[in-house]
């Protein structure tokens, strides 16, 4: 190695990583077709606003494990979409109002440090979306916008000249570890037209939540922010959140993501655990009603295998079988109907 090569080798720049494999892959992704289009994103936002007004109810159904690339072509996505359709129709019948189905699917892949896996994630998502559309179920896709390399490369400009949208999914989720209004994830998400799904719990302060909502939705657009609460038995914080957002005039679509309390994971799937999940959803609905607010949706997690997963570990507390999900919806709908 001559002196010039040695100098180049030793030189380091903070932004140098962008000139490596990920930058090349991002450039490739940016030239590929988007996975969803702006019309669908706008439609979802409009329907979420309708849910916030009480004219619809949102059901988000998630698989209990991180998606694998091979799942996209194995029939699991098709099965998950049909489960979403079945549970959604049952819930709509019980509630007597339309249900808006959202699947956490086609994007929750772990890309890891290998830049080429980002391209594999795109190909897997494309196959998964084909399965969703083949099912002829009107459902929207969602995933956590955790890989900003992937998300940035799939940003497209809306043909209506309103701005940019993320074409990776209709609804993008914000991880609980990145809720600070100054985080890079929030900085990215504030610039896209997509509605944003935020999971919150009692660890968040009202001030932090207000700052986050202001950052993500400064124009106070209905249907833009979905707040899915994970409160367990502690609902004091939720009462504070409702009051603070109402006072600020910040519109949000309230959902409940039950089953993340302190019950041991080994009780997942048991009768006691199912009762805990139902009880949290019912308590949350009643508190919203007491505060003159409205619970507009449920997030449920269905496991696709028996109670012990591929890894041999016990499943997370929130996992349900298909029949258990129906039971949760049935019991919740009876209680919810009494509040309407």
Q: State the SS3 of the chain.
A: CCHHHHHHHHCCCCCHHHHCHHHHHHHHHHCCCCCCCHHHHHHHHHHHHHHHCCCCEEEEEEECCCECHHHHHCCHHHHHHHHHHHHHHHHHHHHCCCEEEEEECCCCECCCCCCHHHHHHHHHHHHHHHHHHHCCCCCEEEEECCCHHHHHHCEEECCCCCCEEECCCCEEEECHHHCCCCCHHHHHHCCECCCEEEEECCCCCHHHHHHHHHHHCCCCCCCCEEEEECCCCCCHHHHHHHHHHHHHCCCCEEEECCCCCCCCHHHCCCHHHHHHHHHHHHHHHHHHHHCCCCCCEEEEEECCCCCCCCCCCCCCCCEECHHHHHHHHHHHHHHHHCCC
User: Between 198 and 340, where is the model more confident?
Assistant: 198
Distance CA 71, CA 131 (A): 11
Q: What does the pLDDT read at residue 223? A: 97
* pLDDT per residue as tens digits for the range 118-142: 888 899 999 999 888 888 888 899 9
Rounded to an integer, the average pLDDT of 328-332 is 94
User: Residue 239: what pLDDT?
Assistant: 96
Q: Does residue 87 have a pLDDT over 90?
A: yes
Q: Determine the pLDDT at residue 23.
A: 72
Please, are residues 139 and 86 in contact by the beta-carbon 8 Å criterion? no
- Is pLDDT of 57 > 90? yes
CB burial of 66-96 (b: ≥16 within 10 Å; e: otherwise) equals: ebebebbeeebbbebbebbbebbebbbebbe
pLDDT higher at 314 or 244 = 244
Structural domain boundaries in the chain: 37-337
CA pair distance 275, 281, nearest whole angstrom:
10
Residue 80: is its pLDDT beyond 60? yes
Across residues 239-254, what is the average pLDDT?
Answer: 97
Least confident piece of the model among 58-72, 136-150, 275-289? 58-72
What was the pLDDT predicted at 178? 74
Whether the CB-CB separation of 249 and 221 falls below 8 Å is answered with no
- Could you tell me the two tokens for 10? 């030793």
Joined together, the tokens standing for residue 226 give 């979905």
How many angstroms separate the CA atoms of 147 and 156, rounded? 16
- To which residue do tokens 């996992």 refer? 319
Higher pLDDT, 106 or 271: 106
Q: What is the pLDDT of residue 266?
A: 46
Q: Which of 93-102, 116-125, 309-318 has the lowest mean pLDDT?
A: 309-318
User: How confident is the model over 205-223, as a mean pLDDT?
Assistant: 95
Cα angle at 96 between 94 and 271, to 5 degrees?
20
Predicted confidence band of residue 161 (pLDDT cuts 50, 70, 90)? low
pLDDT band at 70 (very low <50, low <70, confident <90, very high): confident
Lowest-pLDDT range of 30-39, 58-67, 94-103, 283-292: 58-67
Among the residue ranges 16-30, 35-49, 258-272, the one predicted with the least confidence is 258-272
Residue 65's pLDDT band (boundaries 50, 70, 90)? low
Contact 177, 200 (CB under 8 A): no
CA separation for the pair 56, 102 (Å, rounded): 13
Q: pLDDT-derived band of residue 319, with 50, 70 and 90 as boundaries?
A: confident
Instruction: Give 129 or 161, the one with higher predicted confidence.
Output: 129
Over pLDDT 70: what percentage of the chain?
Answer: 82
Taking all residues of the chain, what is their mean pLDDT, rounded to a whole number?
Answer: 84
Please tell me the CATH code under which domain 37-337 is placed.
3.20.20.70
- Output the pLDDT for position 212: 95
| Average pLDDT rounded to a whole number, residues 188-206 | 94
pLDDT surpasses 70 at 20:
no
């Amino acid at each position: 190695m001559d002196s010039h090569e040695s100098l180049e080798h030793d030189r380091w720049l903070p932004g140098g990583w962008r000139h490596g494999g990920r930058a090349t892959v991002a450039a490739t992704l940016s030239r590929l077709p988007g996975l969803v289009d702006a019309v669908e994103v706008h439609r979802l936002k409009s329907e979420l606003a309708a849910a916030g007004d009480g004219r619809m109810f949102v059901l988000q159904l998630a698989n209990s494990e991180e998606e694998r690339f091979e799942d996209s072509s194995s029939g699991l996505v098709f099965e998950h979409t049909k489960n979403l359709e079945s549970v959604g129709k049952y819930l709509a019948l019980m509630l007597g109002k339309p249900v808006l189905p959202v699947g956490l699917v086609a994007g929750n892949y772990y890309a890891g440090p290998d830049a080429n896996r980002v391209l594999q994630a795109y190909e897997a998502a494309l196959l998964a979306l084909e399965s969703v559309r083949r099912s002829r179920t009107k459902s929207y896709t969602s995933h956590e916008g955790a890989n900003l390399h992937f998300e940035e490369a799939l940003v497209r400009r809306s043909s209506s000249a309103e701005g940019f949208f993320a074409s990776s999914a209709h609804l993008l989720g914000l991880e609980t570890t990145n809720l600070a209004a100054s985080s890079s994830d929030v900085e990215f998400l504030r610039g896209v037209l997509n509605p944003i799904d935020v999971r919150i719990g009692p660890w968040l302060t009202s001030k932090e939540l207000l700052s986050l909502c202001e950052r993500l939705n400064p124009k106070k657009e209905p249907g833009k922010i979905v707040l899915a609460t994970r409160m367990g038995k502690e609902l004091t914080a939720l009462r504070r959140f409702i009051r603070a957002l109402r006072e600020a005039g910040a519109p949000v679509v309230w959902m409940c993501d039950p089953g993340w309390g302190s019950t041991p994971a080994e009780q997942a799937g048991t009768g006691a655990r199912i009762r805990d999940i139902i009880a949290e959803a019912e308590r949350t609905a009643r508190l919203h009603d007491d505060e003159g607010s409205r619970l507009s949706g449920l997030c449920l997690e269905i496991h696709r295998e028996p109670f012990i997963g591929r890894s041999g570990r016990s499943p997370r507390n929130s996992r349900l079988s298909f029949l258990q999900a129906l039971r949760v919806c049935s019991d919740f709908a009876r209680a919810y109907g009494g509040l309407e």
